[in-house]
C-alpha cells in the first residue's frame, strides 16, 4: 500500500533521512522505533507532504505522491496525526472534528464517522462543546486521533501518540488504534519512542537510527532488549 | 600564465590588495580630474553608504526589522544643525552630539519598547516614529525651521571647499566600514549571525539576545545620526523632505538592490542609487513609481541583489577558467 | 460641554470607519501572518475607482452602489492574483517576514504614484451618501454619519456570519489558529491565503470609499490611513477582529478629543505616544492572544 524508496530528506544542510526504504501492506500495523531527533517525525512529515524529499519516491496505492501537496494527500486517504497535535485551539472538540471532515469525501461520511469516533472516545462526546485549548494532554491527543479519523483515511500515520500521557490514557489511545484497524481495516504506521505498547500493537517493526533504517523484524521475532540496545 | 594568475588570486591576499587599491583610488580621485559635480555625488554616496550599511547591519545581520533609519539620520542632522547654528558650537562637536542624540532618542523610544517583541513591532513603531517627526519639527519651528528647514549651515571647518568635504566624508565612510567589519567579526556578532535563523536556539538565549540587539541598535543609530551630521554640514541645508517617502524608498532600494545581509551589498546598492538617481530625475513625476517597481522586481526575482548578480558572474568566470584549463 | 460630547460622537464615527479599515489588515494578518504594508494604497484604490466611476456616470444612488460594487469586485480579484503571483512565492522562501513587507511597501508606493499620474494631485472628494443632519439630545448628528455607522455594523455582522457559518470561512478560521492543523485536515492553504487577500482587499476598498466621503481624497492620504490601521491593530491585539473594532472606537474618540483640545498638529505625536505606551504596557493588545 505504501512504498517508500530511497528517500533523502534535509533540514537546511542537515541530512536528516538517508536512503530510507520500507513498505507497509494494506491492513497492516507497522511500528517505527528510534531515538529522539533521528528523523522519525521527519519521515512521517515527508510521506504526507509536509516536508519535501530531496531524493527518492513515496508511492501510495500505486500513485507517486512524492511531490504532491499535503491537502491532496489527505484527499487520497492518508491522515497524519502529529505529535504536536496542532489542534484548532479556539474551536470546540466538535468543531475540530467538523474541520477534520473537510474534504468532500470525508464530508459525505461525516455523521457516520462522528458517531464512530464518539463510540471509541466516549470522553470526547462528553466534552464535545469544550474549547480544545482547555483540554488535558490525553484528551487533546484523543481529539487529534479522532480528527484524523474524520478525514476517511485508509492509512493513519501516528506520530508518538503516547508522549506525555498517563498509562491509562495510553491504553485508551492504543486500544482505539487497534479497534480502528480491526473494524475499519485502516492501515497503521506508528512512530514511537516508547517500545512496549507499540510493540504489542504492531505486526512488523522497523528501527530508525541516525536517519537510516538499521533493521526490520516481525512482531514475533522482535526482542525488546535488542531494540533498547539499538537506542544506544 | 593563467595558473600564475590563479596563484595570485589567493583569496586573503586578493582581498587586502583590493581594499588597498580602492582606498588609494578614492584618495587620489579628486586630483585625477574629478568634476565638482562628481565630488558632490561621491560625498552623497559616502554618507548614504554609511546609512545603508548600518541599516543593513540591523536588517540583514541581526534580523532587527527597523524601518526608521533615514529618520535616525534626520535626527542626527537636525540636532547637529540646530546646535551649530543656534549656539555656535563647532560642527565637529555638534556632529558627535547629533549622533548621541539620535542614539539616545531612538534606543529609548524604539529599542526599549519594541525589541523584546517579535520583528514586526519594530517595523511598525519605527515607521510611525519616522512619520511623527515632521509634526515635531512643525511644533518646534522656531529653532528647527519647520517646513522651511534650516539653511546656511556651517561646514566642518570655516571656509572649506568641496574637495575637502570629500575627504572628511571619505574618512568617515572608511571608518564606518571598519567599525562594521569589527562588529560582524566579533565573537558576539558571529554567534548572532549563526543564530539568526534558528528560533529554537534563540529562545534559550532569551535575555542575552535582547541586550545584544539593544547594543547593536544603539551603535547603528549612533553611526547613522553621525552620518546625518555629515550630511548637513557638507550640504549646508536640511528640510523635512528628508523624512519623506522618497529618501525612505531610496534607502530601501539601496539595501535591496545591493543585497540584504551582505557586507558590500549596501555599498554597491547606495552607489547604484546615488549615481543612478540622475537617470531617475529624468523620469520626472514617475520617479517613485520606477523606484517602487524596481524594489518589487528585485525582491521577487533577484533577492540577493547585485551581490547575487556579481557572484553569478564570478561563477561564470570560474567556469570559463576551468574550461580553458583542459 | 457641547464640544466635548460632539467630540465623542465624532470620535465614535471616525472610530467606526477606522474599524472597517483595520479589519482588512486584521484578516490578512490573522490568517496568513503577513502584515500588509500596502494597506493604505488598497483603500485608496477602492476610493479612486468609485470616484472614477461616479465621474463617468450620471450620479444617483444606483450608480454610487455600482461604483462601490465594481471597486470591491476589482479589488478582490486584484488581491487574489497579487497573492498568487507575488506574496505566495515570497512566503515559501526564508526571510519572508522582511521581504513581504518591503515588497508591499515598494508596490504601495508604485501604485500610489500611478494613481497620481492617472488622477492628478488635486484633492477630490466622494459625495456623501445623504445630506442634512438632525439633533439628538442637543448633539448634532449627520445622516451621512449614521448611514456609515449602519453600514459598518452590517459589514461586521456579515463577516461574522461568514467566518462562523460558511465552510470557507471556517477553514480560514482554522488556518488562523493552526496552519499545520489545517494542512493535516486537507485544507488547501495556498488557496485559502489567496481568498483571504481577496476578501480583505475588498473590505479595505470599501472602507476607503467611506473614508473618502468623510475626509478628502488625495494620492498620499493612504499613508495616514494605513498607520492609523497599524496602531489600531496592535492596540486591539494582532489577529483579533473584536479587539480591532474596540480599539478603533477608543482611539477614534481619543483622536477627536485631542483635535478639539490640542489642535490637529498634535495628532501624530499623540498616536506615537499611544503606540509606545501600548507596546510597553500590553503588547498583545486589549483582546489579543499573540504578541
CATH number at residue A200: 3.40.50.300
Beta carbons of C283 and B197 less than 8 Å apart = no
Note the pLDDT of residue B202. 52
Residues of B in contact with C89 (CB under 8 A): 300
Which of C167, C178, C184 is the closest to A80 by Cβ?
C184
How much is the pLDDT for B261?
79
Mean pLDDT of C73-80: 95
Chain C residues within an 8 Å CB radius of B295: 102-103, 105-106
Mutate to test the interface with C, among B105, B108, B125 (most CBs of C within 10 A): B125
Q: What pLDDT sits at residue C269?
A: 79
CB contacts, 8 Å: C120 with chain B: none
Distance from CA of C254 to the nearest CA of B (A): 17
Query: Which DSSP letter does residue A33 get?
Result: E
**Taking residues A49-73, what's their average pLDDT?**
90
Is residue B38 scored above 80 in pLDDT? yes
Angle between helices C167-177 and C2-32 in degrees, nearest 10: 80
Q: Report the share of chain B in percent with pLDDT over 70.
A: 90
Helix H or strand E segment including C193: helix C189-214
Section B151-158 average pLDDT: 81
Cβ contact, residue pair C171, A103, below 8 Å: no
Put simply, the answer to whether A88 touches C171 (Cβ < 8 Å) is no
Please name the chains neighbouring C, where neighbouring means 3+ C-beta pairs under 8 angstroms: A, B
Can you spell out the DSSP letters for C261-284? HH-GGGHHHHHHHHHHHHHHH-TT
| Chain B: touching chains (3 or more CB pairs < 8 Å) | C
Q: State how far the Cα of C270 lies from the Cα of C258, in Å rounded to an integer.
A: 8
Average pLDDT, chain A: 88
Q: Which residues of C touch A75 (CB under 8 A)?
A: 186
d(CA C123, CA B185): 52
Q: Check residue B326 and give its pLDDT.
A: 66
Confidence of residue C231 (pLDDT cuts 50, 70, 90): confident
Tell me the count of B-C CB pairs closer than 8 A: 124
Poorest-confidence range of A206-220, C2-16, C273-287?
A: C273-287
Residues from chain A contacting residue C185 (CB–CB below 8 Å): 74, 99-100, 102-103, 147, 150-151
Beta bridge partners of A207: A33, A215
The answer to whether the CB atoms of A82 and C178 lie below 8 A apart is no
User: Which member of C98, C114, C269 has the closest CB to residue B136?
Assistant: C269
Q: Do B121 and C267 touch (CB under 8 A)?
A: no
What is each CA distance from B78 to B27, B178, B232, in whole angstroms?
Answer: 29, 26, 8
CB < 8 Å to C266, chain B? 135, 139
Which has the closest alpha carbon to C40: C96, C87, C105, C88?
C105
Instruction: Flag if C230 and B127 touch (Cβ within 8 Å).
Output: yes
Mean pLDDT over each residue of chain C, to the nearest integer: 86
Distance CA A64, CA A3 (A): 9
pLDDT value, residue C131: 72
Q: What is the SS3 assignment for C217?
A: strand
Highest mean pLDDT among A192-201, A222-231, B48-57: B48-57
Distance of CA A87 to the CA centre of its chain: 15
**Predicted pLDDT of residue B136:** 80
Give the count of domains, chain A.
1
Cross-chain residue pair B112–C280, CB shorter than 8 Å:
yes
Averaged pLDDT, B78-82: 90
Lowest mean pLDDT among A42-46, A225-229, B232-236, C175-179: A225-229
What percent of chain C lies above the pLDDT cut of 70?
97
The model's confidence at residue C277, banded by pLDDT at 50, 70 and 90, is confident
Determine whether the interchain pair B260/C108 forms a contact, defined as Cβ–Cβ distance below 8 Å. Answer: no
The residue ranking higher by pLDDT, B156 or C282, is B156
Q: Do B289 and C110 touch (CB under 8 A)?
A: yes
Q: What is the pLDDT of residue B4?
A: 56
Mean pLDDT along residues B299-314:
85
| Banded pLDDT at B183 (limits 50, 70, 90) | confident
Calculate how close chain B gets to C120, using CA atoms only, in Å: 11
Contact check, Cβ <8 Å, C93/B65: no
Distance CA C97, CA B300 (A): 14
Interface test with B, best of C25, C36, C90, C105 (most B CBs within 10 A): C105
Cβ neighbours of C182 in A, within 8 Å? 99
Q: What is the mean pLDDT of residues B72-93?
A: 88
Q: What average pLDDT does the segment C98-125 reach?
A: 89
The predicted-structure confidence for C243-262, as pLDDT tens digits, reads as follows: 888 889 888 888 888 888 88
How many angstroms away from the CA of B222 is the closest CA of chain C?
A: 21
Q: Chain C partners of A151 at a C-beta cutoff of 8 Å?
A: 185-186
C-alpha to C-alpha distance for A115 and A104, rounded to whole angstroms: 18
pLDDT for the residue numbered B12: 63
- Considering chain A, what percentage of its residues have pLDDT values greater than 90? 34
Pair type for strands A63-64 and A55-60: antiparallel
- List chain B domain ranges: 37-243
Nearest CA in chain A to C172: A99
Per-residue pLDDT band for C291 (boundaries 50, 70, 90) equals very low
Is residue C42 within 8 A of residue C206, CB to CB? The reply is no
Which pLDDT score is estimated for B296? 93
Q: Span A2-7, mean pLDDT?
A: 87
Strands (E), chain A: 2-11, 14-24, 29-33, 55-60, 63-64, 78-81, 155-159, 187-192, 204-209, 212-218
**Chain segment B201-222, per-residue pLDDT in tens:** 555 555 567 777 888 889 999 9
Nearest C-alpha in C relative to B137: C265
Residue A99 confidence class, pLDDT cut points 50, 70, 90 = very high
What's the pLDDT at C31?
A: 93
Question: What percentage of residues in chain C have a pLDDT greater than 90?
Answer: 38
Residue A228 pLDDT: 79
Residues of C in contact with A147 (CB under 8 A): 184-185
Contact C272 B128 (CB under 8 A): yes
Per the prediction, chain B carries an average pLDDT of 83
As beta bridge partners, residue A191 has A32, A159
Helices B162-185 & B199-235 angle (0-180, nearest 10):
170
**Residue C140: which H helix or E strand, with range?**
strand C139-142
Distance separating alpha carbons of residues C23 and B187, to the nearest angstrom: 45
For chain C, what is the radius of gyration of the CA atoms? 19
Q: What is the mean pLDDT of residues B54-65?
A: 87
Reply yes or no on whether the pLDDT at B169 is more than 80. Answer: yes
Q: What pLDDT sits at residue A12?
A: 72
Domain that holds residue A184: 2-230
Is B296 in contact with C268 (Cβ distance < 8 A)? no
Contact B65 C99 (CB under 8 A): no
Task: State the sign of the Cα–Cα–Cα–Cα dihedral B306, C98, B203, A138.
Answer: negative
Residues 115-154 of chain A whose Cβ lies under 8 A from any Cβ of chain C: 147-148, 150-151
Q: What is the ipTM of this complex?
A: 0.87
**Digit-coded pLDDT (tens) for A185-226:** 999 999 988 788 888 888 898 888 888 888 888 888 877 777
Chain C residue closest in CA terms to A96: C174
- Residue C49 pLDDT > 60: yes
Q: Do A88 and C173 make contact, defined as CB atoms within 8 angstroms? A: yes
In the predicted structure, residue C80 carries a pLDDT above the cut 50: yes
Q: Which residues in C lie closer than 8 A to residue B260 (C-beta atoms)?
A: 95, 98
| Contact yes or no for C180 and A148 at CB 8 A | no
The Cα-based distances of C184 to A138, B40, C29 in angstroms read: 19, 60, 21
Predicted pLDDT at C290: 41
**CA–CA min distance B113, chain C (Å):** 5
For residue range A160-183, what is the model confidence (pLDDT) as tens digits? 988 888 888 888 889 899 999 998
- Of A13, A109, A6, A8, residue with least CA distance to A59: A6
Do A88 and C184 lie within an 8 Å CB cutoff? no
Chain C positions touching A95 (Cβ under 8 A) are 170
How many angstroms separate the CA atoms of A198 and A32, rounded? 9
List of E strands, B128-261: none
Q: What confidence category does residue B10 fall into, taking pLDDT thresholds of 50, 70 and 90?
A: low
Q: What is the count of residue pairs from A and C with beta carbons less than 8 Å apart?
A: 68
Average pLDDT (C234-240) is 81
Could you say which DSSP state residue A35 is in? -
Closest CA of chain C from A220, distance in Å: 33
State how far the Cα of C111 lies from the Cα of C45, in Å rounded to an integer. 9
Amino acid at each position: 500500500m505504501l512504498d517508500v524508496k530511497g528517500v533523502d530528506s534535509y533540514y537546511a544542510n542537515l541530512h536528516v533521512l538517508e536512503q530510507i526504504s520500507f513498505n507497509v501492506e494494506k491492513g497492516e500495523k507497522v511500528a517505527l522505533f528510534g531515538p529522539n531527533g533521528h528523523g522519525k517525525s521527519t519521515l512521517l512529515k515527508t510521506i504526507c507532504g509536509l516536508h519535501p524529499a530531496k531524493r527518492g519516491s513515496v508511492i501510495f496505492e500505486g500513485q507517486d505522491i512524492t511531490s504532491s501537496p499535503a491537502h491532496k494527500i489527505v484527499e487520497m486517504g492518508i491522515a497524519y496525526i502529529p505529535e504536536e497535535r496542532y489542534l484548532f485551539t479556539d474551536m470546540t472538540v466538535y468543531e475540530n472534528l467538523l474541520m477534520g471532515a473537510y474534504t468532500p469525501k470525508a464530508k459525505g461520511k461525516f455523521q457516520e464517522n462522528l458517531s464512530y469516533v464518539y463510540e471509541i472516545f466516549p470522553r470526547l462526546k462528553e466534552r464535545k462543546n469544550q474549547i480544545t485549548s482547555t483540554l488535558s494532554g490525553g484528551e487533546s491527543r484523543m481529539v487529534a486521533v479522532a480528527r484524523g479519523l474524520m478525514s476517511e483515511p485508509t492509512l493513519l500515520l501516528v506520530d508518538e501518540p503516547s508522549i506525555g500521557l498517563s498509562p491509562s490514557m495510553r491504553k485508551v489511545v492504543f486500544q482505539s488504534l487497534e479497534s480502528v484497524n480491526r473494524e475499519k481495516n485502516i492501515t497503521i504506521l506508528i512512530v514511537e519512542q516508547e517500545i512496549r505498547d507499540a510493540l504489542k500493537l504492531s505486526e512488523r517493526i522497523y528501527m530508525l537510527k541516525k536517519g537510516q533504517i538499521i533493521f526490520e523484524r516481525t512482531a514475533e521475532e522482535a526482542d525488546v532488549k535488542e531494540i533498547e540496545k539499538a537506542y544506544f | 600564465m593563467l595558473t600564475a594568475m590563479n596563484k595570485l588570486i589567493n583569496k586573503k591576499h586578493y582581498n587586502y590588495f583590493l581594499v588597498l587599491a580602492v582606498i588609494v583610488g578614492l584618495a587620489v580621485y579628486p586630483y585625477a580630474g574629478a568634476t565638482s559635480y562628481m565630488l558632490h555625488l561621491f560625498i552623497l554616496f559616502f554618507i548614504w553608504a554609511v546609512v545603508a550599511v548600518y541599516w543593513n547591519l540591523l536588517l540583514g545581520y541581526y534580523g532587527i526589522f527597523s524601518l526608521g533609519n533615514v529618520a535616525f539620520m534626520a535626527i542626527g542632522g537636525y540636532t547637529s544643525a540646530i546646535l551649530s547654528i543656534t549656539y555656535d558650537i563647532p560642527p565637529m562637536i555638534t556632529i558627535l552630539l547629533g549622533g548621541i542624540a539620535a542614539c539616545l532618542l531612538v534606543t529609548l523610544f524604539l529599542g526599549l519598547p519594541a525589541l523584546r517583541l517579535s520583528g514586526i513591532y519594530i517595523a511598525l513603531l519605527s515607521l510611525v516614529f519616522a512619520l511623527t517627526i515632521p509634526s515635531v519639527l512643525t511644533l518646534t519651528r522656531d529653532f528647527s525651521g519647520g517646513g522651511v528647514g534650516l539653511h546656511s549651515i556651517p561646514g566642518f571647518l570655516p571656509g572649506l571647499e568641496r574637495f575637502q568635504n570629500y575627504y572628511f566624508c571619505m574618512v568617515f565612510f572608511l571608518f564606518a566600514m571598519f567599525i562594521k567589519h569589527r562588529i560582524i567579526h566579533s565573537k558576539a556578532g558571529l554567534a548572532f549571525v549563526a543564530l539568526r535563523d534558528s528560533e529554537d536556539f534563540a529562545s534559550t538565549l532569551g535575555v542575552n539576545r535582547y541586550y545584544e540587539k539593544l547594543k547593536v541598535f544603539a551603535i547603528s543609530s549612533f553611526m547613522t545620526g553621525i552620518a546625518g551630521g555629515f550630511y548637513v554640514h557638507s550640504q549646508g541645508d536640511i528640510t523635512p523632505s528628508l523624512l519623506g517617502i522618497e529618501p525612505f524608498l531610496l534607502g530601501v532600494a539601496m539595501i535591496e538592490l545591493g543585497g540584504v545581509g551582505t557586507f558590500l551589498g549596501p555599498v554597491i546598492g547606495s552607489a547604484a542609487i546615488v549615481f543612478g538617481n540622475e537617470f531617475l530625475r529624468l523620469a520626472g513625476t514617475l520617479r517613485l513609481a520606477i523606484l517602487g517597481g524596481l524594489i518589487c522586481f528585485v525582491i521577487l526575482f533577484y533577492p540577493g541583489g547585485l551581490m547575487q548578480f556579481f557572484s553569478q558572474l564570478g561563477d561564470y568566470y570560474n567556469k570559463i577558467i576551468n574550461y580553458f584549463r583542459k | 460641554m457641547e464640544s466635548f460630547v460632539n467630540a465623542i460622537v465624532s470620535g465614535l464615527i471616525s472610530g467606526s470607519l477606522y474599524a472597517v479599515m483595520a479589519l482588512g489588515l486584521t484578516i490578512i494578518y490573522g490568517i496568513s501572518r503577513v502584515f500588509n504594508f500596502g494597506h493604505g494604497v488598497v483603500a485608496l484604490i477602492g476610493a479612486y475607482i468609485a470616484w472614477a466611476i461616479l465621474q463617468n456616470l450620471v450620479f444617483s444612488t444606483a450608480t454610487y452602489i455600482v461604483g462601490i460594487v465594481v471597486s470591491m469586485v476589482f479589488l478582490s480579484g486584484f488581491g487574489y492574483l497579487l497573492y498568487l503571483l507575488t506574496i505566495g512565492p515570497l512566503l515559501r522562501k526564508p526571510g519572508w517576514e522582511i521581504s513581504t513587507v518591503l515588497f508591499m511597501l515598494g508596490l504601495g508606493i508604485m501604485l500610489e504614484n500611478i494613481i497620481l499620474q492617472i488622477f492628478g494631485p488635486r484633492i477630490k472628494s466622494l459625495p456623501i451618501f445623504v445630506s442634512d443632519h438632525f439633533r439628538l439630545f442637543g448633539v448634532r448628528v449627520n445622516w451621512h454619519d449614521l448611514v456609515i455607522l449602519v453600514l459598518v455594523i452590517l459589514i461586521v455582522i456579515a463577516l461574522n456570519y461568514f467566518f462562523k457559518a460558511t465552510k470557507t470561512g471556517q477553514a480560514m478560521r482554522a488556518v488562523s489558529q493552526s496552519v499545520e492543523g489545517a494542512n493535516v485536515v486537507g485544507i488547501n492553504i495556498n488557496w485559502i491565503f489567496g481568498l483571504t487577500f481577496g476578501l480583505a482587499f475588498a473590505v479595505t476598498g470599501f472602507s476607503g470609499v467611506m473614508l473618502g466621503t468623510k475626509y478628502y481624497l488625495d494620492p498620499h492620504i493612504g499613508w495616514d490611513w494605513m498607520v492609523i490601521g497599524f496602531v489600531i491593530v496592535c492596540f486591539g491585539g494582532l489577529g483579533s477582529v473584536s479587539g480591532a473594532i474596540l480599539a478603533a472606537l477608543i482611539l477614534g474618540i481619543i483622536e477627536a478629543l485631542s483635535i478639539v483640545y490640542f489642535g490637529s498638529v498634535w495628532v501624530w505625536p499623540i498616536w506615537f505616544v499611544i503606540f509606545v505606551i501600548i507596546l510597553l504596557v500590553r503588547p498583545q493588545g486589549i483582546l489579543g492572544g499573540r504578541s
